[in-house]
Structure formats: C-alpha cells, structure tokens
Amino acid sequence: MSFSSKILDWYHENKRSLPWRKSTDPYKIWLSEIILQQTRVEQGLPYFEKFKATFPTVFDLAKAPADQVMKLWEGLGYYSRARNLHFTAKFIATELNGIFPNTHTAILGLKGVGPYTAAAIASFAFGLPHAVVDGNVFRVLSRVFGIKTPIDTTLGKKEFNQLADTLLAKDKAAVYNQAIMDFGATQCTPANPNCTICPMQKHCTAFSDKLIPVLPIKSKKIKKRDRFFNYLVFKNADTIVLNKRQQKDIWLNLYDFPLVEANSLLSEKELLENEVFQKIIGTQAFTIKKASKPFKQLLTHQKIVAIFWEIELKSALLVNDSSFFEVKQKNINNFAFPKIVDLYFKDKSLYLELF
Ligand code: SF4
C-alpha cells in the first residue's frame, strides 16, 4: 500500500471534527487558516467562532473598524496576521467584488497568505492539487523518509515541497492534505509519537533507526532578545493614560501605557532620573503609588519583562506625545492590549480599579 493510501486510511478512522472542514466557503477557510497560523487548534477554535459570528461575510469584515478587529484578535498573538486579514478582506470586498480568488497563483498573491496557506485554501475550497507543507508535514515526511536536510533552509524547503507534491493524492487533494496534517498533529506528534499503533511503523526510517528525537532537523536556534519595559500607569481621578503603539515594532496598533524601555527593570530612583520619564512627566505633580511585580511574555524573537509603575497625577497629564491619550477607566475594555498588559490587569483583583 502506498504512503498516501495509508495516510487516507488512517484519516478515515481517526479524523478530527473541525468546524471549518464542514465548509468549502473560501472565506471561512481563509479565516480559519489565518487564525491557525502558529496557533494550536484548541486555542484558535474560539477565535474562529467569534470571527465567523461577528463577520459572517468578507464585506462585514472589510467594513469593520480596525480597533474592533484587533480587539477580537486580542490574546492570539502575531498581530500582523490580524492587520493582514483586515487588509485582504478590504481588498477582496472592494477590488474583487467580494469574490474570493479561485486559482493558486491569485490566492498566493493575497497579503498574509504564504505557500502553506495558499495550498490549504486552494485544495480545501477548490479541490486544486497543491500539497500543504506545514510543521506537521515536515515532521511526518522527515521521520518516515529519514530526511536530514534542515527544514528551515531553502534546500530543505525545496526538497520537502517536491516530496509532498509527489506524494499528494491529486484527485483527493483536500482530504489528503487534511489527513497528513491530522496525522502529524495527533499520531506523529513532536514528543511521544504513537509508534506502537502506527500504520507507517514498518516503513518509518526514524522508527527503525531510532531517529525520532532528532527529526526533523532545524539549522538555527532562534536567539531571543531581552527587552525591559517600565510601564507608566498614570491615573487622574477616573481616567488613565493609554498609548497607541504606532512605531515599527512589536504590537503595532495595540494599546499599552507610556513606556520607559531600558536595559533593565528600573528602581524608583533610576526611574525618576531617567530622561524619557522626565520628558513624559514634565513639570507635573505626581505621586508614585507602587510598582507591580515583574511580568514576562515570550515572543518568537524577544523576551519581554515588564513592570507597571502606578502613578497618581494631581491633574490631567499634559500630553506631549501624540500616541498618548486619556480614557475613562470604565471604557478600558474597548481597547486591545498585548498579553503582558492583560496579565497585569488580571493580576488586579478589580479590573478597572487600578489603584
Ligand atoms: S512510526 Fe512513529 S515516528 Fe514513524 S510515522 Fe509512525 S508515529 Fe511517526
């Protein structure tokens, strides 16, 4: 029996029930695929349901305010996906009269759609014979065929893509693609794959050569940059000051607080002497009430450590930065924040009573 037949047989017995699989609507498939990029199915599922319910058509998503899209996306991370999603919805609604492109090349031309997502949409929505190659597929192919070429190199990508195209059951592209991804996600998992009852076992190089822990191979280890954020949570009566992140950096278009970034978390003395802090506070009267405990957030290339300085102002902040603005505490739920700010809010027993 061929590799593809074994994968299809396995899928027949073991497939997961996922809501977007019930549809061939390219809009819903695109939505699910963008949400699932770099996200586990269990985490992405509620977001898919929220987006589908709030924006039943591409026109609904296209005309939504950017803040609403970012708020719905809050907590999912990799926010450029949300910005690209919104951009592409507007493009399809206005330039293509709401009709999703139906060729692989045109789908690949959409902003935020890479080779994997294009193959997924082309096969799931239109039955086109394009093989998906995601992390699951890299793992399954490298293990079964014993391929040691690093998956994060140009050569590796080419080799795996060619093999995936050769193996694709072209007349059943949609089912086959879903099958191999499910196989990787639930059977040939990164740690502790279920080899004992695996239909590939007899032909699996990684199993016979004891290479399971080393395959697939990656050439580079991602080095994370440490960043230290000293957030200034200014409060005056029932308002607090927020910052809209508009610089070319992480979390573009999300909201946080005025920030003093430094080489470390600062002591109170260091904060008071810091030039950025002095520029923000100017000559205004203030009292530092307390500093939070440190919070951490890991991103792909960065480790963020933040503390939140809670500062009471005697009058409204004389805003000297166009990104800062005052907002009533009761309206704070209208804004989308990075996870680290949400962690800080959640650590407070009263979400809106900051201090
Ligand atoms: S035998 Fe083990 S390593 Fe090989 S494909 Fe099956 S689950 Fe994966």
Residue 207, ligand 1, Cβ within 6 A:
yes
Residue 141, ligand 1, Cβ within 6 A:
no
**Sorting pLDDT into bands at 50, 70 and 90, what band is 283?**
confident
Which residue spans within the chain are E strands per DSSP?
A: 225-236, 239-244, 255-256, 259-262, 286-291, 295-298, 302-313, 324-328
**CA–CA dist 108, 46 (Å, integer):** 26
Residue 221: the pLDDT is 73
Residue 131, ligand 1, Cβ within 6 A:
no
Mean pLDDT of 15-24: 84
Residue 179, ligand 1, Cβ within 6 A:
no
Looking from the CA of 229 toward its CB, the CA atoms found within 13 Å total: 22
* Residue 343 in this model has a pLDDT that exceeds 60: yes
Mean pLDDT of 273-278: 93
Contact 325, 204 (CB under 8 A): no
Nearest Cα to Cα of residue 193 among 138, 146, 140, 134: 140
Determine how many CB atoms are found less than 10 A away from the CB of residue 9: 13
**CA–CA dist 160, 167 (Å, integer):** 11
Cα 187 to ligand 1 centre (Å): 7
By annotation, the residues acting in catalysis are 33
**CA–CA dist 93, 308 (Å, integer):** 42
Residue 114: the pLDDT is 94
Nearest Cα to Cα of residue 336 among 253, 278, 270: 253
**Sorting pLDDT into bands at 50, 70 and 90, what band is 220?**
confident
* Residue 351 in this model has a pLDDT that exceeds 50: no
Cα 6 to ligand 1 centre (Å): 12
pLDDT in tens, 193-219: 999 999 999 999 999 999 999 999 998
Residue 347: the pLDDT is 85
Domains and their CATH numbers in the chain: 3-208 (1.10.340.30), 225-347 (3.90.79.10)
pLDDT in tens, 31-63: 999 999 878 888 999 999 999 999 999 999 999
Residue 242: the pLDDT is 95
- As a dihedral over the C-alpha atoms of residue 346, residue 351, residue 354, residue 355, rounded to 10 degrees, the angle is -100
**CA–CA dist 194, 187 (Å, integer):** 5
Mean pLDDT of 296-302: 91
Q: Residue 106: which H helix or E strand, with range?
A: helix 104-108
Mean pLDDT of 139-168: 95
Atom of ligand 1 nearest to the CA of 205: 4
DSSP state for residue 332 in the 8-state scheme? G
**Sorting pLDDT into bands at 50, 70 and 90, what band is 171?**
very high
As beta bridge partners, residue 244 has 255
**Sorting pLDDT into bands at 50, 70 and 90, what band is 350?**
very low
Cα 150 to ligand 1 centre (Å): 19
* Residue 176 in this model has a pLDDT that exceeds 70: yes
**Atom 8 in ligand 1: residue holding the nearest Cα:** 188
As beta bridge partners, residue 325 has 242
Residue 185, ligand 1, Cβ within 6 A:
no
Cα 157 to ligand 1 centre (Å): 21
SS3 content of the chain, % helix, strand, coil (to 5): 45, 15, 40
Candidates 136, 200, 215: which one to mutate for ligand 1, based on the most atoms within 8 Å of Cβ?
A: 200
Q: What is the mean pLDDT of the chain?
A: 92
Nearest Cα to Cα of residue 100 among 154, 61, 48: 61
* Residue 353 in this model has a pLDDT that exceeds 80: no
Residue 125: the pLDDT is 96
